[in-house]
Amino acid sequence: METTPFSEELIDSHLLVDVRTPLEFEEDHIPGAINVPLLTNEERVEIGILHKESGPYAARRRGLELTAHRFPEMVRYIADSAAGRPILVYCWRGGLRSKTVTSILDLAGLKAIQLIGGYKSYRHVVSEYFTPYLPKTPLIVLHGMTGIGKTTLLQLLKERGNSVLDLEGLACHRGSAFGQLGLNQDLTQKRFETLLWDACRKAPAGQPLILEGESERIGRVSLPGDFYQKMAQGIRVWCHATLETRVQRLIDEYGLPAYKDEMGDALQRIRKKLGGKRCEELAGNLERWEMDEFMKGLVCDYYDKVYYKNRTWEADYQLDMEDFDHAAQELERFLAQRSAG
Helix (H) or strand (E) holding 16: strand 15-18
Output the pTM of the full model: 0.89
- The set of catalytic residues is 91
Listed in sequence order, the DSSP H helices in 108-234 are 118-129, 150-159, 167-171, 189-202, 227-232
* Number of neighbours of residue 87 by Cβ within 10 angstroms: 21
For 298, half-sphere exposure in the C-beta direction (CA atoms, 13 angstrom radius) is: 29
Q: Where are the domains of the chain?
A: 2-128, 131-340
Give the DSSP per-residue string, 202-269: HS-TTSPEEEE---SEETTEE--TTHHHHHHTSEEEEEE--HHHHHHHHHHHH--GGGHHHHHHHHHH
Check: CB of residue 194 under 8 Å from CB of residue 28: yes
Mean pLDDT in each 10-residue stretch from start to end of the chain (341 residues)?
94 96 97 96 91 89 90 96 96 94 96 97 97 94 93 96 94 68 76 97 92 89 96 95 95 86 88 91 93 92 80 89 97 91 64
Check: CB of residue 250 under 8 Å from CB of residue 147: yes
CA distances to 24, 59, 68, 70, 117 from 51, rounded to whole Å, are 19, 5, 18, 22, 21
In the CATH hierarchy, which fold is given to the domain comprising 131-340? Rossmann fold (3.40.50)
In the CATH hierarchy, which fold is given to the domain comprising 2-128? Oxidized Rhodanese; domain 1 (3.40.250)
Check: CB of residue 327 under 8 Å from CB of residue 321: yes
pLDDT at position 63: 86
pLDDT at position 310: 67
